[in-house]
Amino acid sequence: MCKPRLAVFKFASCDGCQLSLLDAEDHLLAVADAVEIVYFPEATSHMEEGPYDIALVEGSITTPHDAERIQQIRKDARFLMTIGACATAGGIQALRNWADKDEFMQAVYATPEYIQVLETSTPIAEHVQVDFELRGCPINQYQLIEVIRSLLAGQTPRTPRHSVCLDCKRRGTVCVTVAQGTACLGPVTQSGCHALCPSYNRGCYGCFGPALQANLVSLSAQMEREGASKAEIAHKLKNFNAYAPAFRTESTRLVQLEGDQRR
């Protein structure tokens, strides 16, 4: 029987999400046995052309060339899955979507004219149809293995959509907001990290993006009551998932409100 052909592609990103695949040491050889890795430049020099059964895509679209490249990958892939906040929400580099891209370029490069980049950094789903999005910055390797496994078994992959708070309760972590008044995005952030930050005594900063039905307005109000300014809260939301709709809407609202107050 032919093994499913797996390919891994990279766009604007840090490699951290695809590294999660290499980090899954205990499962890696088993996965490598169950699928045929036909394209994964970070790991192997063996490269085959499409079609692919599963294409894992890391990174956001930030250049005209990449905007074209993703179209071809879509054509080649039977099942296209994005991995990580860059690919599903535009990543930290999407902060330029609020800025003047040319000014950003000038701040970093001596001769920005040489470089072709788009005005925005956008998620893969804004360009092509995506079959499954795996969240996180970085993704959780167990979720990745689980998703690949369920795909191989012909099942629809499922990852939890509840908020980090529930995981805090499950692992018995004392709430950093309640106990210390530390600002925490956990109530509005999707589960996936096993409530990591609070267990290290800090507030969540939102790696996994907005949880299902997250009530951002209510959380901002709570943070303001605890002394945070609107600008500070907006900064917290403008992070690795800044361009995810729920976070984007709320940070924009806060910035606007603050502008109104100043006027």
Partner 1 sequence: MTERKIKVETLTRVEGEGGLYVRLQGEQVEEVRLEIYEPPRLFEALLRGRPLEDAPDITARICGICPVAYQMSSVHAMEMALGVEITPEIRRLRRLLYCGEWIESHGLHMHLLHAPDFLGFESGLAMAKQFPDEVNRGLRLKKHGNQLVDLLGGRAIHPVNVCVGGFYRIPSRNEFQKLVPDFEWGLNAAIETTRWVAGFEYPELESDCEFVSLSHPDEYPMNEGVMQTSSGDQIEISNYRDEFQEQQVPHSTALHAIRKTTGRPYLLGPLSRVNLNRDRLSPAARKLADEIAFEPECRNPHRAIIARGLELVHSYEEALQILRDEHSTKEPRMTYEYQAGVGMSATEAPRGTLFHRYEIDTEGKIVEADIIPPTSQNQAQIEVDLKAWVGQVIEKEESQAARLCENLVRAYDPCISCSTHFLNVTIERS
Q: Which residues lie near partner 1 (CB under 8 A)?
A: 10-20, 22-23, 25-26, 28-29, 32, 37, 41-47, 62-63, 65-66, 91-93, 95-96, 99, 103-105, 107-111, 114-117, 121, 137-138, 193, 196-197, 199-202, 205, 207, 232, 235, 239-240
Among 121, 143, 177, 251, binds ligand SF4 (CB under 6 A): 177
> Residue 210's binding partner, choosing from ligand SF4, partner 1, none, with beta-carbon cut-off 5 to 8 A by kind?
none
> In the stretch 34-73, what mask flags binding to ligand SF4 with x, by CB under 6 A?
------------------------x---------------
Stretch that binds ligand SF4, among 35-43, 126-134, 201-209, 230-238 (CB under 6 A): 201-209
Closest distance of CB 207 from partner 1, Å: 8
Among 14, 32, 43, 152, binds ligand SF4 (CB under 6 A): 14
Distance CA 99, CA 120 (A): 9
If the CB atoms of residues 95 and 175 are measured against partner 1, the closer one turns out to be 95
Q: Are 179 and 62 in contact (CB under 8 A)?
A: no
> In the stretch 77-116, what mask flags binding to ligand SF4 with x, by CB under 6 A?
-------xxx----x-------------------------
If the CB atoms of residues 16 and 112 are measured against ligand SF4, the closer one turns out to be 16
Helices 230-237, 245-262: crossing angle, 10 deg rounding: 160
Residue with tokens 């996965």: 31
The residues near 138 (Cβ < 8 Å, ≥ 6 apart) are 16, 17, 19, 20, 84, 207
Distance CA 254, CA 234 (A): 6
Distance CA 116, CA 241 (A): 24
Q: Are 35 and 148 in contact (CB under 8 A)?
A: yes
Count CA atoms within 13 Å of residue 211 on its CB side: 24
Q: What is the 3-class SS of 167-189, one letter each residue?
A: HHHHHCCCCHHHHHCCCCCHHHE
State which amino acid sits at residue 55.
A
* Binding positions for ligand SF4, 129-148, rule CB under 6 A: 137-138
